[in-house]
Homo-oligomer: A and B are copies of this chain.
Amino acid sequence: MPPFAFRVTARDGATRARAGVLQTPHGPVQTPLFMPVGTRGTVKGLAPRDLNEAGAQIVLANAYHLSLRPGAEQLAAFGGLHQFMGWSGPLLTDSGGFQLFSLATPDRRNGSQGSLVKVTDDGAWFTSPIDGSRQHIGPERSMEIQQAIGADIIMAFDECSRNDDDEAVAARSMERTHAWLLRCRDRWREQEAAKRGVAPQALFGIVQGGNSRALRERSAAFVAALGLPGVAIGGESIGYSRPMTASILDWVAPLLPDDRPHYAMGIGEPEDFFAVVRRGVDMFDSVLPTRMARNGTLLTSQGRLRLPSSRYADDQTAPDPHCRCYTCRTASRAYLRYLFKAEELLAPYLATLHNVSFCLDLMRQMRQAISDGRFPSFEQSFLARYREQATV
């Protein structure tokens, strides 16, 4: 089988949901899947064996962050991120477009002026927050960085549109993203052709176009036509606005190549897992489950559980009685709450292990439901129970 062959093994009759297998040089992954995020080469607090235990099939890292520290060259000297972080499964690197353009754009919510990054048609110029050095990442450099990191799947360098971009701004971002995608593809092809004894990498293109149906359709068609190993749907709106996420996926789904994996960037709410999978998405990621864990919020089969709440002070039950993760097998809600109150290191560890396990187990169940032809009923029963308990 070729290194990035993607095979759909089951399709839901009522929705676009599908189950499949994607081959990578570090082993196959079953789709649809959630990718835990290890932005800087570590999934906050979890060791590689914890990720294996939780059922992680692939881990996402961030080329922008890793290029600043420890640096692309140091990672190359180690033989790549797999070796450096001790993770032998598949890896995917995001290019860092999202991070760079978050810094570049004035942000009304936090008052930042966006002055940290200058963006032109040749990429982004910015100051390293680590050592103050001047840095540049453009499409070609992004491919070089991601080659040094050595992830199985690498992402095109894109200009991430914001949820509040008007159509003209979104159109300019999209055009730039398309132009950069061609440059990324050319550099990636050169890199792949020059490789000797090194694992191949798969480049995924990214659909942009903001919240405009016309732009999204144009972008989907453009990316699909390139015949890359996979297609991602990006932009701040994805995962940020639930109705807009659904609309964008509804617009682009019919235009995406059926024989390639579809990746929705930034989906971390269990309710959204269903919303994107039923629209034909095969893979997605988000920092939300791990970030919520560090703040003391657990995802459970009955909804969110806010550990700092005093209602759990004497609660001897497992965080999620239906979960079989190490945390739920060994710690009570009261003990976890206590650990958070006492600001003990074990608190974010146990909470993160649970949230990641929960998301991955949910995806396992979802794949099974698709294979068994009962995705809609599984969705209905999960969401009925998940919404049962209000956020506390």
Contact = CB atoms under 8 A, between A and B. Distances in A.
Given A84-B335, A314-B77, A69 B330 contact: no
B41 A338 contact: yes
A85 B339 CA distance: 10
Nearest to A43: B346
A240 interface: no
Contacts of A77: 314
A85 B336 CA distance: 9
A84 B332 contact: yes
What bracket does the count of chain A residues touching chain B fall in?
A: 35 or more
A385 interface: no
Contacts of A314: 74, 77
Question: How many copies of this chain?
Answer: 2
Interface in A224-261: none
B344 A40 contact: yes
A156 to B, nearest CB: 26
B47 A346 contact: yes
B47 A342 contact: no
Contacts of A344: 40, 42, 44-45
Interface string A282-326: 000000000000100000000000000000011010000000001
Main secondary structure on A side of the interface with B: helix
A334 B78 contact: yes
A349 B350 CA distance: 12
Interface in A1-51: 40-42, 44-49
Interface string A325-368: 01000111011001101101110111000000000000000000
B47 A350 contact: yes
Contact of A86 (B44, B69, B331, B341): B331
A106 interface: no
A342 B45 contact: no
A330 B49 CA distance: 10
A78 B331 CA distance: 12
Contacts of A349: 45, 47, 345, 349
A126 B316 CA distance: 30
Given A47-B350, A326-B49, A330-B86, A69 B316 contact: no
Interface of A: 40-42, 44-49, 69-70, 74, 77-78, 84-86, 294, 313-314, 316, 326, 330-332, 334-335, 338-339, 341-342, 344-346, 348-350
